Amino acid sequence: MNGMRVAPTPRAARVVESTAVRPQWRALVMAIVTVMIGVGHGLAQDTAYVPGPGDVLDIEVYASGERQETFSATVSPTGTVTCPLIGEFTLGNRPLPELAATMAEAFAAGYYVHPQVLINVRQYAGRVSILGEVRHPGLYPVGGRLTLLGAVELAGGVTDFAAERHVHVLRNEGGKPRRLEADLGRIRKGKEPDLVLQRDDRIDVPRRWF
């Protein structure tokens, strides 16, 4: 999904951070951070959004009144992006304003004076959530074609207590919730088709009761 770039407007959210708060490790560094309210899917971006694996970020760095760096970066599976000068940068599950502030500090550490960082999410990665009896529950990107079995494998597989015969997939179709049920054992044996997942599907692997 590609969002259109727009010039900063009064809707832009501005965060000003003074380095005097923590002089012991931020001496002489002041980051003025602007997070653009961009357009994606026809909607303004949520500044509380936490970028994750597969998201594409457009990043601009300003200093001395001029744009110094402009680049796009795709968030890696481990939650990092590669930036000019500072190299690999860990996002650390930060929302957009905090992420921009932290990145500005990194560029200020020996590269630019009082940098401003502008971050726009150009493309959101589709994600699914996996809950219940899997080894690593959480959010996982839908990169291309992702099936139910593939998503379970991304989550480290099921635990010894998983009720594999009664896995639920909750999906929103046209604003209405839909619940699908799958049998992982039958899927592995080829006796049941593997379900192709959609963006924002929620997978629930229930606990087996003896």
Q: Where are the domains of the chain?
A: 13-123, 126-205
Instruction: Give the pLDDT score at 30.
Output: 37
| Closest by CA position to 35, among listed 115, 127, 94, 116 | 116
The per-residue pLDDT of the chain, averaged, comes to: 80
105-126: per-residue pLDDT in tens? Answer: 999 998 999 999 999 988 878 8
Q: Measuring CA to CA, how many Å separate 131 from each of 118, 128, 145, 199?
A: 34, 10, 20, 16
37-72: per-residue pLDDT in tens? Answer: 333 333 344 566 778 888 899 999 999 999 999 999
Q: What is the CATH number of domain 126-205?
A: 3.10.560.10
Mean pLDDT, residues 10-39 taken together = 37
Q: Measuring CA to CA, how many Å separate 194 from each of 132, 182, 183, 191?
A: 19, 8, 9, 9
* 15 confidence band (pLDDT: 50, 70, 90): very low
Q: Any bridge partners for residue 33, and if so which?
A: 15
